[in-house]
Amino acid sequence: MATPTHDAGATLNRQMGPVAMLFTGLSIIGSGWLFAALYTAQLAGPAGVISWLIGGAVTIAIALVYAELSGMLPVAGALARIPYLSFGPVGGFMAGWLCWIAFVATAPLEAIAVLDYASNYLPWLTINEHGERILTPPGVAAAIVMLAVFTGINLLGVKYFARANTTITFWKLTIPLAAAVLLIVFGFRWENVYEHGGFAPYGITGIFSAVSSGGIMFAYYGFRSVVDMAGEAKNPQRDVPMAIIGTVVFCIVLYVLLQIAFIGAIPPSHLEKGWAAITETAPGGPFAAFAAILGLQWLAILLYADAIVSPGGTGFSFVASTARLNYAMAKAGQVPSVFARLNRFQVPAWSLVFNFLVGIVVVLPLPGWNQLVEFISTAAVLSFAFGPIALLVMRLQQPDRPRPFRVPAATAFSATAFVLAGFIVYWTGWETNWKILLIALAGLGVMTVLRFTDHGHGAPLQLKATAWLWPYYAGLALMSYLGNYDGGLGVVPDGLDMAILTVFSLAIFWLAVRLRLSPDIIGDMIAAERDEIEPTGSARPDDAT
């Protein structure tokens, strides 16, 4: 684990304006909108609308936490660096590790989604194996080429990233919004809401399960791109909180409309065996099928095209933000310093190249979209869980630091957000959680190896400040194993499980805050980041919007 790197001459370019920052968050709209409505309906039926609202409420709570933190500390890769500044090297590494695991798999996943759709016209890209499409060798080669293109554009600098991303995202916003409105206007059937098992055919368990396992959290967590790119905003104190809140609010409206459209437009013949038995009905996704059935052929054609553009744009955005995580961890001395090196366009080139090489491994045959989405979403939420604690720690230990955006009732709000993050992990179920928690422990092993290979010259680990982390992971594992979701034993009754998890999460929250670093230690670490947190100079005239 290298000594922290703080080179004032090697900072990222601040060229992204408010529109570019907002569109960075909205660029997450990719394969999630094409399939999350389908998987949510399978798990919850028409009550999937409630699942989206619950997921939106959880996302708003977590996003507002990061709106305050990233406005106060606008650094690149903030999802790793804010925990580092709040808990020390162990907290920063574990948050960054889990976040990187989630993010580095997302760009390849979106590239695979593009090729999966394209295989309906280029069948040599995939083969059907055990009911799932996997890439053929030429398909793998095509996915690698796509990742190389995403990486190459990002290597040219943030200005080119912002311009390309804004153009792609404008398309990605227009098509799903138009699809939702038109399907509701021309094809909504009220009978679908109360027939075929009623509004909530699978009860409260189905509603909660859909939040974690239906792709909802995966579809929502686009705000984190804004947090990771905060180090390249022109006016981060103003633009980052606005972009975070704007991203989440727009996505809640869009996804709720899409779920309503899906529920109302699905033909009755597809529901004869119930909501759990519905399947994808068209190459470009279920919405394209509904548009064709309703005679909206032009909309179906646009949706077929969007099935390629949306995942591609999301993969492009994830390549950028994932590299900022590597950069952030290298700046904090948690991974080799080569990942903090910037090219002449002032982007972390070695981080981009390393993630591209990892992506090549990821594009090898993988399980289905929804299983991967569960995995990615849970890893990301576990990394987000550091944020609510960090907010209160910073309020207590750095009360005078300027905060352009302040969360109201910070103690109650941050505690609630932490409890909700635990709910999301629990609702995912044991079958996914044991793998994620095993990877978290693997991260501890990676950190230990890096520490010893540095011959002990890294920053003090501040182990006391993260002593809460291990009982937290152990408690989540035990609750998942005994609980009622996806592989759990079901020995804890519904309702009681949520009560136990709430009390447990609040106890961990209290312990984490009590074990916080001293104001002097946090102040010294923040002071070392001053060149990036308080940039000087003005933007060039041709800066990106």
Q: Is 349 left (phi over 0), alpha (psi -120 to 50) or beta?
A: alpha
Q: Is the pLDDT of residue 159 over 50?
A: yes
pLDDT exceeds cutoff 60 at 257: yes
Q: If DSSP states are collapsed to H, E and C, what string results for 266-333?
A: CCHHHHCCCHHHCCCCCCCCHHHHHHHHCCCHHHHHHHHHHHHHHHHHHHHHHHHHHHHHHHHHHHCC
CA atoms within 13 A on the CB side of 418: 27
> What is the predicted pLDDT for the residue at 543?
39
Res 467: pLDDT: 93
**Residues 6+ away with beta carbon under 8 Å from 487:** 429, 430, 431
User: Is the pTM here over 0.85, yes or no?
Assistant: no
The residue behind tokens 């098992």 is 197
Give residue-wise pLDDT tens across range 34-59: 778 888 999 999 999 999 999 999 98
Whether the pLDDT of residue 370 is over 90: the answer is: no
> Whole-angstrom Cα distance, residue 325 to residue 229?
10
> How far is CA 57 from each of CA 51, 54, 222, 416, rounded to the nearest angstrom?
10, 5, 14, 11
Q: How confident is the model over 251-280, as a mean pLDDT? A: 86
Residue 12 is predicted with a pLDDT of 52
What domains appear along the chain, each with residue ranges and CATH number? 18-533 (1.20.1740.10)
Phi-psi region of 77 (alpha: psi -120 to 50; beta: other; left: phi over 0): left
Helix (H, G, I), strand (E, B) or coil at 233: strand
pLDDT score recorded for residue 27: 65
Residue 538, pLDDT score: 38
What is the mean pLDDT of the segment spanning 491-507? 93
Say what the pLDDT of residue 379 is: 87
Residue 7 has a pLDDT of 46
Query: In angstroms, how far is CA 338 from the centroid of its own chain?
Result: 25
pLDDT over 60 at 3, yes or no: no
For helices 410-428 and 203-213, the axis angle rounded to 10 degrees is 100
Highest mean pLDDT of the ranges 1-15, 34-48, 367-381, 465-479? 465-479
% of residues, the chain, pLDDT over 90: 22
d(C-alpha 88, C-alpha 84), whole Å: 5
409-464 per-position pLDDT tens digit: 999 999 999 999 999 999 988 988 898 888 888 888 888 777 767 644 566 778 89
Rounded to an integer, the average pLDDT of 196-223 is 86
pLDDT tens for 468-488 read 999 999 999 999 999 988 888
Give pLDDT, residue 391: 94
Neighbours of 293 (CB within 10 A): 15
* Confidence at 16, pLDDT banded by 50, 70, 90: low
Q: Residue range 68-81: average pLDDT?
A: 79
Residue type, 427: W
Residues whose CB falls within 8 Å of the CB of residue 434, separated by 6 or more in sequence, listed in order: 477, 480, 481
Q: In whole numbers, what is the pLDDT of the chain averaged over residues?
A: 81
Q: Which of 497, 532, 538 has the alpha carbon at shortest distance from 209?
A: 497
> pLDDT tens for residues 104-142?
888 888 887 788 777 777 888 888 776 566 788 888 888
pLDDT at position 271, please?
A: 85
